[in-house]
Amino acid sequence: MSRFDPILTSKALWQIRVQKRPFVLSHAVNTRCNMKCSFCDYWKKSGEEPAKEEIFKLLDDAREFGIGVYNAWIVEPLLRKDLPQIMAHAKKLGMITSMVTNGKLLYERAEELEDVDYLSVSVDGVKSYKEIRKMDFETLMKGLKKAIEVRKLQNKKNPILMNCVLTGKNLDDIETLILLAKKLEVKISFEPVHRFPGISEEVWNDIGIHDMEKFRCTVDRIIELKEEGYPIINSKTYLRMVREGEMNYICRASGIIMNVTHDGTLETCRVQNEPLGNVMWDGFESVWENSEDRRKEIVKDCKGCLFFGYTENSLMQSLNPEVIMHYEWM
Ligand code: SF4
């Protein structure tokens, strides 16, 4: 929810603070990916993709429950041919729409994304990109530049977001990426690589952040460039937490964002995967109300995470003034 849109902000506050329900539905719109990144767990899971009609029904129910933002997320939304119809349905219901893509199909499908308000593209490096993503950086740029052009022609007011996961492999590329974001007139976000349980020791040795001094210097530079006005969406509070690996915030993520898998299962977040009920079978209201105690326990026992969407939104809901001033995405 953009803090610059008073109507949307008041709807979100009503839903989250008064109704005590989440405002964002983050949905696993499909079950496949066209990349196999070593640090990612999602493409390893299998399952049957929901039919378009099932998603329409899910969106109708979500709207009734008070959801105002639909985020088509894992695994790779652009692999769904009918994605434009799904986004159009969410827009027809009055929702804000967003999606996250690895960008591999962006060149082919940029024109079809007219109903996507917030488009986020994973850009995890420049020189290191190919090693991390197994695709040429030039291929990604071709798609990204086309999407930028198309969105200008479509009069989209929100610039594209390049989201970058900081790993042990891309720290030398970060400043170049920030300069590139400015040149392309897009925004950029950072978050540290998360060690999911499925990541092997070997992969973690390869991709994890081990040189902490270099990592801290890189995050300091991100903060400096943010202060100089570069288009970095993260708050300084969050970036300082990333620098220190501090996760000492009160997690409010599950009260803001509903994570729903491809088969309708509600999970607390993308880390805590315990099933809390099925919103496609039992409805949003019943699953939400019946899972209240368990959700609280899961969050209480959680050791924390530093995914920017969860952390920044939690800090915002805790009324952290610097985050309210400087965090610039939804
Ligand atoms: S802090 Fe824990 S419960 Fe909250 S979003 Fe992160 S992993 Fe999930």
- What digits encode the pLDDT tens for the residues 29-58? 998 888 877 777 777 777 788 999 999 999
Question: Is the model's pLDDT at 140 over the cut of 50?
Answer: yes
Measured in angstroms, how far is the CA atom of residue 247 from the centroid of ligand 1? 10
How far is the centre of ligand 1, averaged over its atoms, from the C-alpha of 103 (Å)? 26
Each residue's pLDDT tens digit, 153-165: 999 888 899 999 9
Reported confidence tier of residue 1, pLDDT bands at 50, 70, 90: very low
What is the C-alpha separation between 86 and 27, in angstroms, rounded?
12
pLDDT of 296 higher than 80: yes
SS (H, E, C) the chain: CCCCCHHHHHHHHHHHHHCCCCCEEEECCCCCCCCCCCCCCHHHCCCCCCCHHHHHHHHHHHHHHCCCEEEECCCCHHHCCCHHHHHHHHHHCCCEEEEEECCCCHHHHHHHCCCCCEEEEECCCCCCHHHHHCCCHHHHHHHHHHHHHHHHHCCCCCCCEEEEEECCCCHHHHHHHHHHHHHHCCEEEEEECCCCCCCCHHHHHHHCCCCHHHHHHHHHHHHHHHHCCCCECCCHHHHHHHHHCCCCCCCCHHHCEEEECCCCEEECCCCCCCCCCEHHHHCHHHHHHHCHHHHHHHHHHCCCCCCHHHHHHHHHHCCCHHHHHHCCCC
Of 254, 270, 271, 291, which is best to mutate to test ligand 1, by the most ligand atoms within 8 angstroms of its C-beta? Answer: 271
Report whether pLDDT(247) > 70. Answer: yes
CA dihedral 321, 325, 328, 330 (to 10 degrees): 50
> What is the whole-number distance in angstroms between the Cα of residue 302 and the centre of ligand 1?
6
Question: In degrees rounded to 5, what are phi and psi of residue 90?
Answer: -60, -40
Q: Which CATH superfamily is domain 23-248 in?
A: Aldolase class I (3.20.20.70)
Judge contact between 158 and 110, C-beta under 8 A.
Answer: no
Q: Which of 299, 300, 306 to mutate for ligand 1's pocket (most ligand atoms within 8 Å of CB)?
A: 299
Q: How many whole angstroms separate alpha carbon 35 and alpha carbon 25?
A: 24
Q: State whether the beta carbon of 256 lies less than 6 angstroms from ligand 1.
A: no
At residue 2, the pLDDT reads 45
Nearest CA to ligand 1 atom 8: 269
Ligand 1, atom 6: closest residue by C-alpha: 305
In this structure, which residue's CA is closest to atom 4 in ligand 1? Answer: 251
Domain extent listing, the chain: 23-248
Question: Per-residue pLDDT for 259 more than 80?
Answer: yes
pLDDT at position 4 is 62
CA 250 / ligand 1 centre spacing (Å): 9
Q: Are 169 and 132 in contact (CB under 8 A)?
A: yes
